[in-house]
Amino acid sequence: IKTKAKDLNARSDEAAFRIIAGTARQMGLEIVD
């Protein structure tokens, strides 16, 4: 997340994670905690 965070419009690590997780879900990946 730290690597991609500067490219995202996210104010926190949590928000950045949600953006990346949403993109992954759209690609058909399953997100597991």
- Tokens 């965070």 appear where? 5
Mean pLDDT by 10 residues, the chain (33 residues): 77 88 95 83
Does this model's pTM top 0.85? no
pLDDT value of position 24: 94
pLDDT value of position 1: 67
Tokens of residue 14, six digits:
């949590």
For 5, residues 6+ apart whose C-beta sits below 8 A from its C-beta are: 13, 16
Q: Please choose, from the candidates 11, 13, 28, the residue with its C-alpha nearest in 3D space to the C-alpha of residue 3.
A: 13
